[in-house]
Structure 1
Amino acid sequence: MAEAAPLCQAAPDAAAIEAMARDTLARMPEPFAAHLAEVVLLVEDYADDETLAALGIEDPIELTGIYHGRPVGEKSAFDSGAMPDRIHLYRLPILWEWIETGVRLDELVHHVVVHEVGHHFGLSDDDMHALEDGAA
């Protein structure tokens, strides 16, 4: 899809990042796809101060995404009233990494989304790599 941006090109907006992320979610294999319908996807410029502080991150450019919620295996029938699970993507850190690495933007967004989906399922890093390959 998108290559490293020339200096004169406008940076992709939140809607463009969200479209790439939704494309990744649409390509998730079963049984993962069935559990993702209720997950809320949010694209913001940066993580808020509370999130950064909770993770011990001082520079907001270091956080490209985060999963908020309980992993599927830890859910219970007694979870009623809880906030919905959410995947937050942070547009400016993603764009910064895109510029720094030269990785195609759609591939970078795909990687971040799969990583956060992996947290939703409580997967290990190795399992996340396998899921990323399966959702390509």
Structure 2
Amino acid sequence: MTAQPLEMLKAPSLDDFEALGRVALKGLPREFLTLIGDVEIRVDDFPTREVLDDLVIESEFDLLGLFVGVGLAHAGATAVTGMMPNRVWLYRRPILDYWAEHDETLGAIVTHVLIHEIGHHFGLSDDDMEAIEEAAD
């Protein structure tokens, strides 16, 4: 496969980010994935104003991702009828901005965001999440 000339390169699309998210999710350790059960990857350019206000975040560039849902560890013995599926939102523009400022691959950043959004939701420590990142494919 040959690389595209630099003048032909484009920023990854929302669909490209969704694909990156699915690949990153498949590479996470099984024990970690059991916390959340089935999860959807959703992508948007930015979080909504409502999300930013709820989290008391001023700039739409300050939120790279968000976990929304109830994992298996918190759901109890029975599933709730009408409960929305677990979702991890990836925010394309803030992630691209972060990528431009750091020496990491885009895939590594997406994996990091997934692990941290899921991990923070379940109260994992930064050390726990670092170990999960090291175990990820």
Q: TM-score, normalised by structure 1?
A: 0.84
Over 3 Å counting, the alpha-carbon distance change for 1:78 and 1:35 in structure 2 is: closer
Task: Provide the identity percentage.
Answer: 39
Q: Which has more radius of gyration? A: 2
Cα offsets for 1:58-106 (capped at 9, x unmatched): 1001100010112432212263322211100000000000011132111
Give the match for residue 129 of structure 1: 130
RMSD of Structure 2 on Structure 1 (CA): 2.1
Deviation at 1:8, TM superposition (A): 6.4
Q: Which residue of 1 aligns with 2:40?
A: 40
Please say if residues 44 and 92 of structure 2, whose CA atoms lie closer than 8 Å, have aligned partners that are also in contact.
yes
**Deviation string for 1:19-59 (max 9, x for gaps)?**
11111111122223355552111010000011000000110
Contact 2:40 2:87 in 1 (8 A): yes
Aligned residues: 131
Q: Please, which runs of 5 or more residues in structure 1 have no aligned partner?
A: 1-5
Select between 102-111 and 68-77 the one with higher mean Cα deviation: 68-77
Within 5 A, what are the aligned runs for 1:73-92?
Answer: 73-76=73-76, 77=78, 79-92=80-93
Q: Is the 8 A contact 2:37 2:71 kept in 1?
A: no
Seen in structure 2, the aligned counterparts of structure 1 residues 78 and 25 have a Cα distance that, compared at 3 Å, is: closer
Q: Which runs of 5+ in 2 are unaligned?
A: 1-5
Partner of 1:52: 52
Q: Which letter maps to 1:102?
A: D
Asked if the contact 1:72/1:121 (under 8 Å) is kept, the reply is no
User: Counterpart in 1 of 2:20?
Assistant: 20
Residue 28 of structure 2 aligns to which amino acid in structure 1? M
Residue by residue, what CA displacement relative to the aligned partner does 1:94-121 show, whole Å, maximum 9, x if unpaired? Answer: 0000011132111111111111232454
Kept in 1, the 8 Å contact 2:36–2:73? The answer is no
Letter in 1 for 2:88: I
